[in-house]
């Protein structure tokens, strides 16, 4: 009755070696691919094969077809966007998750899948020292759930807030049509918030207003501004119901003052959601945990790569994703994870001090965690040219952002294997290209 897996044993082990080879030599690859849109279509057939191909043929095509078009997120020369999770324990757990291959849409569909996720979310909540009502425990009302992405977490929080607002209003005015209520709802977020927050408003069909921020306030939403907008909107007959605060914005890693904003939301019965997609993980370090002060005023909270929220989600089919967290938490331990985050923050500080020591450059926003926003003193054009040269070199990869109308370069420490020598080499390259760009400037 056994189904022998001889071929999988062989190919699986070959794949382990292929992966190890890839990761060991990732620095030798250009971090950013040199291909034009549409490159891949001409490299493979227009239709699936009728007959099976050999595994050897498929493997050969990894280098021929796939690798030329890969942006290598785990190269120590990758400083774009934000980091994404990848570790050996995570990969091992993912293999197991694929083999078990259960779909966790209900407890009975695979009890271990639901239960491990509940407990891992509690482990995570305790690592972050979240208030007790965010923890599921044995009889708790709180608890977290792994969402596919931060976008989904933000949307789910907005939908929960919408549902609560409608319920509250119907309780005091049962005859009011639900469509009339939703047409008056208004949600708020910072003008620095991620585009997925605005998109969540569009999906849920509610009005979403952006709260302006200023460089002088470090791009944080001010209580006074929020309060004024709420009063104006209420006076105009609207119903404020949701505020999405950001801890660690995408452009500059700015932090909204939730200790000030939370009480305003609570008093106005506005659902406060906290999106800490990037910064959230850092709160497991005691020295960064104060950035989360004010969480006690929040109704919901999410962060990447493991998102935190009440038990609800849009997808029904879901993988056994908590296995990854279990493997990672145990094989690193809390201390190992703290060390890992601290090392990234230190590397960012090292890069910051290199920038500050060079009079031609300026730092564009406070460096709190692993993101450094910087630019050449000068026009947007010269900075755009510099970034283009950097990325065309394909040795390191950065993406830009806009801050107060300025074109700014974002240097995010991303890869697990980034060391001081990579930071220094990146800086050497940046200054060398900056010199070239400036020499070409008309006098």
Q: What's the order of all strands across the beta sheet hosting 399-403? A: 361-363, 371-376, 406-412, 399-403
Shortest distance (Å) from residue 61 CB to a copy of itself: 8
> Judged by CB under 8 A, does residue 196 bind a copy of itself?
yes
Cα 384 from chain centroid?
25
Q: How many CA atoms lie within 13 A of 443 on its CB side?
A: 0
**Alpha-carbon distance 318 to 90, whole Å?**
17
Q: Residue 431 phi/psi, 5° resolution? A: -65, -35
> Judged by CB under 8 A, does residue 381 bind a copy of itself?
no
Q: Within the chain, what is the greatest distance between any pair of CA atoms?
A: 82
> Looking at beta carbons only, is 260 or 340 nearer to a copy of itself?
340
**Alpha-carbon distance 341 to 345, whole Å?**
6
Stretch that binds a copy of itself, among 71-79, 223-231, 255-263, 433-441 (CB under 8 A): 71-79
- Which 3 state secondary structure label does DSSP give 245? strand
Size of the site for a copy of itself (CB under 8 A): 124
> Judged by CB under 8 A, does residue 332 bind a copy of itself?
yes
Site string for a copy of itself, 34-63 (x = CB under 8 A): -x-xxxxx--x-xxxxxxxx-x-xx---x-
Shortest distance (Å) from residue 425 CB to a copy of itself: 10
Q: Interaction with a copy of itself in 223-252: which residues (CB under 8 A)?
A: none
> Judged by CB under 8 A, does residue 388 bind a copy of itself?
no
> Judged by CB under 8 A, does residue 429 bind a copy of itself?
no
Share in percent of the chain as helix, strand, coil (round to 5): 50, 10, 40
> Looking at beta carbons only, is 340 or 366 nearer to a copy of itself?
340
> Looking at beta carbons only, is 103 or 441 nearer to a copy of itself?
103
Stretch that binds a copy of itself, among 179-187, 220-228, 354-362, 429-437 (CB under 8 A): 179-187
> Judged by CB under 8 A, does residue 336 bind a copy of itself?
yes
- Size (the chain), residues: 443
> Judged by CB under 8 A, does residue 216 bind a copy of itself?
no
Shortest distance (Å) from residue 211 CB to a copy of itself: 22
Q: Interaction with a copy of itself in 109-168: which residues (CB under 8 A)?
A: 109-113, 115-116, 118-119, 122-124, 126-127, 138, 148-152, 155, 159, 162
> Looking at beta carbons only, is 292 or 355 nearer to a copy of itself?
292
Shortest distance (Å) from residue 33 CB to a copy of itself: 6
> Looking at beta carbons only, is 121 or 437 nearer to a copy of itself?
121
Asked if 371 and 380 touch (Cβ cutoff 8 Å), the reply is: no
Q: Quick one: which of 310, 331, 341, 438 contacts a copy of itself (CB under 8 A)?
A: 331
> Looking at beta carbons only, is 91 or 264 nearer to a copy of itself?
91
**Alpha-carbon distance 189 to 272, whole Å?**
10
> Judged by CB under 8 A, does residue 98 bind a copy of itself?
yes
Query: Angle 322-356/88-100 helices, nearest 10 degrees?
Result: 150
Shortest distance (Å) from residue 393 CB to a copy of itself: 15
Asked if 429 and 391 touch (Cβ cutoff 8 Å), the reply is: no
> Judged by CB under 8 A, does residue 1 bind a copy of itself?
yes
What's the count of helices (H) and strands (E) in the chain, helices before strands?
12, 9
Stretch that binds a copy of itself, among 97-105, 228-236, 349-357, 362-370 (CB under 8 A): 97-105
**Alpha-carbon distance 16 to 146, whole Å?**
27
Q: Read off the tokens for 233.
A: 């909107």
> Judged by CB under 8 A, does residue 68 bind a copy of itself?
yes
> Judged by CB under 8 A, does residue 310 bind a copy of itself?
no
> Judged by CB under 8 A, does residue 441 bind a copy of itself?
no
> Looking at beta carbons only, is 118 or 431 nearer to a copy of itself?
118
Asked if 230 and 239 touch (Cβ cutoff 8 Å), the reply is: no
Helix H segments across 146-282? 150-172, 178-182, 195-204, 223-235, 258-267
Q: Read off the tokens for 124.
A: 């995570």
Asked if 79 and 398 touch (Cβ cutoff 8 Å), the reply is: yes
């Amino acid at each position: 009755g056994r189904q022998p897996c001889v071929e999988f044993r062989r190919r699986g082990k070959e794949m382990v070696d292929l992966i190890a080879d890839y990761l060991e030599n990732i620095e030798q690859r250009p971090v950013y691919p040199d291909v034009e849109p549409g490159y891949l279509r001409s490299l493979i057939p227009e239709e699936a094969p009728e007959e099976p191909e050999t595994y050897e043929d498929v493997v050969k095509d990894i280098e021929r077809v796939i690798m030329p078009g890969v942006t290598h997120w785990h190269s120590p020369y990758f400083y774009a966007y934000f980091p994404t999770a990848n570790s050996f324990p995570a990969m091992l757990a993912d293999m197991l998750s694929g083999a078990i291959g259960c779909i966790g849409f209900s407890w009975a569909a695979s009890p271990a899948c639901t239960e491990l996720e509940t407990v891992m979310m509690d482990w995570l909540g305790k690592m972050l020292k979240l208030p007790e009502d965010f923890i599921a425990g044995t009889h708790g009302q709180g608890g977290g759930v792994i969402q596919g992405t931060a976008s989904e977490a933000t949307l789910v929080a907005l939908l929960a807030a919408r549902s609560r607002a409608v319920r509250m209003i119907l309780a005091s005015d049962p005859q009011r049509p639900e469509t009339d209520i939703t047409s008056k709802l208004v949600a708020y977020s910072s003008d620095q918030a991620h585009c997925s927050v605005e998109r969540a408003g569009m999906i849920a069909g509610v009005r979403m207003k952006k709260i302006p921020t200023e460089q002088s306030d470090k791009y944080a939403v001010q209580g006074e501004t929020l309060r004024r907008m709420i009063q104006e909107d209420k006076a105009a007959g609207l119903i404020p119901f949701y505020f999405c605060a950001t801890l660690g914005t995408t452009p500059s890693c700015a932090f909204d003052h939730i200790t000030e904003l939370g009480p305003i939301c609570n008093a106005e019965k506005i659902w406060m959601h906290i999106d800490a997609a990037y910064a959230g993980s850092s709160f497991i370090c005691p020295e960064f945990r104060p950035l989360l002060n004010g969480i006690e005023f929040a109704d919901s909270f999410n962060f990447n790569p493991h998102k935190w929220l009440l038990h609800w989600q849009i997808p029904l089919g879901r993988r056994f994703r908590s296995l990854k967290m279990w493997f990672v938490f145990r094989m690193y331990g809390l201390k190992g994870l703290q060390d890992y985050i601290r090392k990234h923050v230190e590397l960012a500080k090292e890069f910051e001090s290199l920038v500050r020591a060079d009079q031609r450059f300026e730092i564009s926003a406070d460096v709190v965690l692993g993101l450094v926003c910087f630019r050449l003193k000068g026009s947007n054009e010269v900075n755009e040219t510099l970034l283009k040269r950097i990325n065309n070199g394909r040795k390191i990869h950065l993406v830009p952002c806009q801050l107060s109308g300025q074109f700014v370069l974002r240097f995010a420490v991303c890869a697990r294997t980034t060391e001081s020598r990579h930071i220094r080499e990146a800086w050497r390259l940046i200054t060398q290209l900056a010199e070239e760009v400036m020499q070409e400037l008309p006098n």
